[in-house]
Amino acid sequence: MVFNFKTVSLFIAPPRRHSPDVVLLQELIQPYTLFVKKHLADNYTFIEGGKENYFIGMMLKKSRITLLDSEIVTYPTTSMMRNLLVAQVLFKGQKFCLMTSHFESCKANAGERMRQLRLVMKRMAEVPDDVTALFGGDTNLRDAEVGKVGLPDCVCDVWEQLGEPEHCRYTWDTHANTNNDHRYKSRFRFDRLYLRRAAGDGVPQLEPDSMALIGMEKLKCGCYTSDHWGIFCTLSAQ
C-alpha cells in the first residue's frame, strides 16, 4: 500500500480499516510522524528516511513482517534533498526488498527525475534472484520520461500489469482534488508501483491482484487527506 498524506486523522483510519502489511509514505514531517507512532506503534515498525523538513518512510506490520536491515540512499544530484529508502524484510519466510522514494518535483526537473528512476531500476535489477523487490512512491514521473529511461526486462509496472485500470490511473488530479487552487487543471499518474519478481528456483512468484485509490473522502474541514490520492494494492504469491 502506498499512501501520500498531509492530514493525519484520515491517514490513521486506512491502516486500521485495511490492516495493510506495508505502508509506504512520502512528505512526512516530524509532528505527523510522532502522532502516527503514538496511535499505531503497537502494530507497526516505523522506518524513516530523514528527520528534517519533509521525508519518506515505511510502516511494517509487526505480526507479519520482520525487518532485517534498512538503508537510506542519497540521490547524488538532487537539489530537493530527495532520497531512496530501502528495507530488507522477511514475509512468511520469503525475502523482500522494499523501496520508497519521492522523486524530484516540477516539470523543469525531468532530467533529475529520470536519473533517480535509473538509480532505482538499477537497484531493483541488482537484488539477488531469491529476493522479490517492490518499489512504491511519489515519482512525479510523466509517461514520456519513463519511456525515455525504460524499465529493465525483469521489472514491471504494477498498474500496467493489472491491465491499466482507468479507475486508478490518476493519483494526481486537480480536477477532482481541490486541496490546492491550481489555475491550470491536470491529471498525472505520479504515484507508481514497480515489481521485480524473484527468479530463484522454488521461490514463490508475487503477482498483483488488485489496485484502488484511497483518500478520496473529504474531511470535516472540507479538505482531502492529501493533494495526491493514495494507492491500495494487494499482491499474492503464486
| DSSP single-letter state for residue 110 | H
How many whole angstroms separate alpha carbon 58 and alpha carbon 49? 8
Q: What is the CA radius of gyration of the chain?
A: 17
How many whole angstroms separate alpha carbon 141 and alpha carbon 149? 11
For 236, residues 6+ apart whose C-beta sits below 8 A from its C-beta are 206, 207, 209
From residue 195, alpha-carbon distances to 8, 9, 32, 149, 185 in Å are 28, 30, 29, 16, 30
How many whole angstroms separate alpha carbon 121 and alpha carbon 126? 9
Are 47 and 67 contacting, i.e. CB atoms less than 8 angstroms apart? Answer: yes
How many whole angstroms separate alpha carbon 54 and alpha carbon 130? 34
Catalytic machinery residues: 138
From residue 9, alpha-carbon distances to 50, 124, 216, 226, 228 in Å are 22, 33, 14, 11, 16
How many whole angstroms separate alpha carbon 138 and alpha carbon 172? 10
Q: For cell 506490520, name the residue.
A: 61
Q: How far apart are the first and last CA of the chain?
A: 19
